[in-house]
Structure 1
Amino acid sequence: MHRIGYFLTDGFQVMALGTQSVFEFANVVAKEQVYQVTNYSLRGGVVTSSIGASVNTQSVTSESRADTWMVSGIVDPIGHVSTAEELDFLKRAAGQAQRVGGMCTGAFVLAQAGLLEGKKVTTHWAYASILKDRFPGTFVEPDSIFINDGAIWTSAGLSAAMDLALGMVEKDLGHGVANRVAKVLVMYHRRSGGQSQHSEMLNIAPKSDRVQVALDYARAHLSDDLSAEVLARTVHLSERQFRRVFLSETGLSPAKAVEQLRLETARNMIQRGQHSLEIIARETGFRDRRHLREVFVRKLGVSPQSLRREAREGDTD
């Protein structure tokens, strides 16, 4: 039996407890008790959530063990600092567990405990840049619903923590069980970790018409050469001027912005399922299907084939 411990502190986000349903229905689908879920806190007893609802917990001791520890954050992590006792427990618990999950801003707690150093992680988009600044040894990927890097699992918002929990079930019990659990829970389908929290291109808000024209040109010509030199010519600037203006207005290099445009467009085409991967690669400016896969795995942590399979299964569920 796989033991899952939820480590709760006062002010925890109550929605975190909803992820327990994923493990509950994994037991139902598997027709055996694969998972045993227990709520813990430092002292035990009643712990109050951010909305005021309370839950009873067991106290943690030197003998407390779990195969998976799930940690919830709080509504606003900016001014919150976990106690030394809480962090000491998490360090010890993580060393004895198979994996640790930081749900939403729970990533901040794991980072304070030193568990995210050198790890690729995500958190709620509103706090991703803050997490990156506070813990520079952590590689924060804001464009992911959840990320699994070794024994560390992190999710974006708490609805994305449902996807994280389903990802754990898939790792433990296989894709078929995870998909049936998603169906029981009336989730559209199990979203992969590589799906975006939102369109990153919405964050690009250029101040000048010239940069906007260049972006519009890029969107309309994804299969063409979109080097900085080409884009500069479309707006009648020198390449050097264009690079400087583009970076100052968007915070991205032209090459990075073009890569994001191609990646988002390809992802949307894959999920719609209307074209082969060869056609998608060609129309979005990737060299070939292999190049498309390489970029997807490197940037999103998931293959195009996996995204397509999940989209198809979601349509038939």
Structure 2
Amino acid sequence: MPFDPHIPPFPRRVEVLAFPSVQLLDVTGPFQVFATANDWAEREGRRRPYAPLVIAPGGGQTAASAGLALLAEGLPTAKVGLDTLIVAGGPGVHALAADPAMCAWVRERSRVAGRTASVCTGAFLLAAAGLLDGRRATTHWSRCAELAATFPAVRVEPDPIYIRDGAVWTSAGVTAGIDMALAMVEADLGRPAATAVARQLVVFAKRLGGQAQFSTDLALAGADDSFDGLHDWVRQNLRTRLAVPMLAARAGMSERNFLRRYKQATGLTPARAIERMRVEAARQVLGATTQSLKRIARDCGFGTEETMRRGFLRVLSVPPQAYRERFPV
């Protein structure tokens, strides 16, 4: 019978695309999740559900950016059926994204795959291949603004650990590939299997919080330093009502020009950026003190506990009290 991508092969073939200067954990993290799912299935007396393998242009040894060499198979043709194609990230991904032949191969392989995914900056290759046009997508927090600017047809979201938009999945930086792979295992085999794999790997089956658990200071300064002075002032005045006219005046710009340039520089609106800075300030206090939520909300400019709770849910996907318990600074 001809291969039907809607009926995945068993065991499910999972190809992880590597390349010179690939990020090592982008490859090995998801690979280990599927390998551990196989171990779990064997202990349960079941058939191995996955056939994971590493592929790379030309095959053979491929050196990761960390200096460790991976042994990979060559790129298969579109006639070889598969369930999942995962494109890893790393410094070398931009060379692939600039190669029309490589982009064509990814498009062709994606048509055969039941699902296509990227880890970290692997999203740049999917975007270059046109697979993210009109879709929600994410990548490493420090590269979200670049992805959005380079590929305006992609709806880039900086907060999620991973995003599933139809048959296309994208994940945030490095270890987020593990979270995404666990979600794939849950989709394929059910929650008990994913939980068992996560327990074996000693990771959360579903991590609380988005990739905004990193420092907001680093995120806002990562791509453009034009507004560093403004950000320093904002952090010192979080209890102030920080409206756009005040911010534009501090930046020495008209409101319209300020809004346009700020979004270009940070990938965020001023309101979203200020909310993140307030959440950043609050989470620092939550992890270092026993101050009440009411006082923290007031001191960090939220005004009320409820406003702070909504901000935490938007930025970290976890309420303040749960953050204090699970993510101490």
Shift of 1:113: 0.8
Shift of 1:112: 1.3
Aligned residue number for residue 188 of structure 2: 172
Aligned residue number for residue 256 of structure 1: 272
Q: Which runs of 5+ in 1 are unaligned?
A: 233-238
Task: Map 1:105-254 onto structure 2 (within 5 A).
Answer: 105-187=121-203, 190-192=206-208, 194-196=210-212, 198-202=214-218, 203=220, 208=229, 212-218=232-238, 221=239, 226-228=241-243, 232=246, 241-242=249-250, 244=252, 247=258, 254=270
3-state SS of the aligned residue for 1:259?
helix
3-state SS of the aligned residue for 2:175?
helix
- Is 1:49 the equivalent of 2:51? no
* 1:237-266 superposed Cα distances (whole Å, 9 cap, x missing partner): xx8634756958986665333322345467
Normalising by structure 1, we get a TM-score of 0.70
Instruction: Give the direction of change, closer, same or farther, for the CA distance of 1:261–1:280 in structure 2 (3 Å limit).
Output: same
Question: Which 10-residue stretch deviates more, 45-54 or 240-249?
Answer: 240-249
3-state SS of the aligned residue for 2:203?
coil
Instruction: Give the direction of change, closer, same or farther, for the CA distance of 1:193–1:170 in structure 2 (3 Å limit).
Output: farther
Instruction: Give the direction of change, closer, same or farther, for the CA distance of 1:255–1:56 in structure 2 (3 Å limit).
Output: closer
Aligned residue number for residue 34 of structure 1: 49
Contact 1:121–1:147 (CA under 8 A) maintained in structure 2? yes
Instruction: Give the direction of change, closer, same or farther, for the CA distance of 1:10–1:171 in structure 2 (3 Å limit).
Output: same
3-state SS of the aligned residue for 2:211?
coil
3-state SS of the aligned residue for 1:184?
helix
- Is 1:13 the equivalent of 2:23? yes
Contact 1:145–1:160 (CA under 8 A) maintained in structure 2? yes
Shift of 1:216: 2.6
Give the letter for the 2:140 counterpart: H
Give the letter for the 1:241 counterpart: A
Give the letter for the 2:99 counterpart: T
Question: Which 10-residue stretch deviates more, 124-133 or 197-206?
Answer: 197-206
Give the letter for the 2:235 counterpart: L
Shift of 1:174: 4.1
* 1:14-43 superposed Cα distances (whole Å, 9 cap, x missing partner): 331332111111233343322221333465
Contact 2:183–2:194 (CA under 8 A) maintained in structure 1? yes
- Is 1:70 the equivalent of 2:86? yes
Shift of 1:117: 0.8
3-state SS of the aligned residue for 2:212?
coil
Contact 2:209–2:317 (CA under 8 A) maintained in structure 1? no
Give the letter for the 2:63 counterpart: S
3-state SS of the aligned residue for 2:85?
strand
Q: Which runs of 5+ in 2 are unaligned?
A: 1-9
3-state SS of the aligned residue for 2:73?
strand
Normalising by structure 2, we get a TM-score of 0.68
Give the letter for the 1:6 counterpart: V
Root mean square deviation of aligned Cα: 4.3
Aligned residue number for residue 236 of structure 1: none
Whole-angstrom distance in 1 between the partners of 2:29 and 2:237: 44
Shift of 1:185: 1.5
Shift of 1:308: 4.6
